[in-house]
Amino acid sequence: MTDLGQDAVDLCRALVRRPSVTPQDAGAQEALAARLRQAGFSVESVTFSAPGTPDVVNLFARFGEGAPHFAFAGHTDVVPPGDLARWRSDPFAAEIDGGEIIGRGVVDMKGAIAAFAAAAASFCARGPFKGSISLLITGDEEGPAINGTEKLLAWAAERGARFDHCLVGEPTNPDALGDMIKIGRRGSLNGTLTVTGRQGHVAYPQRADNPIPAAMRLAQALAAPPLDAGTALFDPSNLEIVSFDVGNPAFNVIPAQARARFNIRFNDHWTPQSLAAELQTRAARAAQGADFALAFEPCNALAFVTEPDAFVGLVAGAVERTTGRRPKLSTSGGTSDARFIRAYCPVLEFGLVGQTMHMVDERAPAAEIGALAAIYEAVLDDYFRVFAHG
Ligand SMILES: [Zn+2]
């Protein structure tokens, strides 16, 4: 393995050994900060608080000054390991077995964070360049995401940081390193349908009004037909009923109310407002006089896309040069902190292979973490060659 690869692997293992299950940090960010300071970065640790949520520690590190300003973004927090007995080895020991590092967060996404730091350190050590490199690292991505990236971006902007482009290290590849760059994400909206009838004895249905048949009819009307057929850069939007609740323990009572909860993953054809209006229309058409209400939770995940341009081409080129694979440009999958970054600058996501994220025996080949560091360094090479003129 190259020195760069070994550096990334060593740092990944050091990070995994800090059990930073959201909202704990357990020294993970200090381990990263130490490596970045050694490479000449100035590092600041910022803790954000909000009522009803745990305090979260975040890290902002910067090398150089001025434009162009390239940012790596990611999170050091991890999801809980689950049943320890089912792990091949301790999830926080970062043991290597058959060339693979095993541990919670290796894939999502301490491997990528380590690759960021190793690539940036190597690039900065090779000599002066025009511009700056930052790392925006939160400890609140897997949790409520309230005291994390969104606040860290605002905090950095208040202090004069202007980001030109950003790369997030979420695991984006379905099967092999180099498969896929995420250029955007679908939005996510949660809603509840409530149908109100009148409670009564099942033997006297004429005196009651059962809300369940209407709730079933309305739920089906919300879910079909399809919301759209997809757009140029997105799959079709999808509404999924995730719960249907009456909560009636009795066989001889017609209940008063029925509820269905649903989630919509939507593309750039929609806003939360236009979706709410469409669903209201669908429900009203199917109601046949039933007393229904639709309610939506606040939406902080709009659909967004970074249109293929010079930056997208540059990152795709660096991936292809290093791995020999031409990455697919995709907007599939769940939401990520990229939804907050897009308000500041164009943002892409590229990281490890995602197959074992959040699972027991989360793992990645050490060689792939080294290869990811080589890709990130190639991105920095190309970025400052292309964008740092004048
Ligand atoms: Zn993640």
Domain 188-296 has CATH 3.40.50.150: no
* Angle, CA of 132, 148 and 92, to the nearest 5°: 95
Nearest Cα to Cα of residue 48 among 140, 117, 127:
140
pLDDT recorded at residue 134: 98
As annotated, the active-site residues are 77, 141
Where are the chain's structural domains? 3-185+303-387, 188-296
- Are 60 and 152 a contacting pair, CB within 8 Å? yes
Residue-wise burial string across 35-56, b where 16 or more C-beta atoms lie within 10 A, e elsewhere: bbeebebebeeeebeeeeeeeb
Q: How many residues does the chain have?
A: 390
**Assigned CATH for 3-185+303-387:** 3.40.630.10
Mean pLDDT split into 10-residue runs, the chain, 390 residues? 96 98 96 98 97 94 96 97 96 98 98 98 96 96 89 96 97 98 96 98 97 98 96 95 95 98 96 97 97 95 93 98 97 91 97 97 98 98 89
pLDDT recorded at residue 334: 86
Give 45 Cα–ligand 1 centroid separation in angstroms.
20
Give 350 Cα–ligand 1 centroid separation in angstroms.
11
Contacts of 336 (CB under 8 A, 6+ apart): 141, 168, 170, 182, 185, 349
How many CB atoms lie under 10 A from the CB of residue 229? 10
pLDDT recorded at residue 335: 87
H or E element at residue 242: strand 238-245
Residues 143-196 pLDDT 10s: 888 899 999 999 999 999 999 999 999 999 999 999 999 999 999 999 999 999
pLDDT recorded at residue 390: 53
| DSSP tag of 205 | G
Is the full-model pTM beyond 0.85? Answer: yes
Give 115 Cα–ligand 1 centroid separation in angstroms.
15
* Residue at 245: amino acid letter: D
Contacts of 385 (CB under 8 A, 6+ apart): none
Nearest Cα to Cα of residue 87 among 106, 69, 59, 64:
106
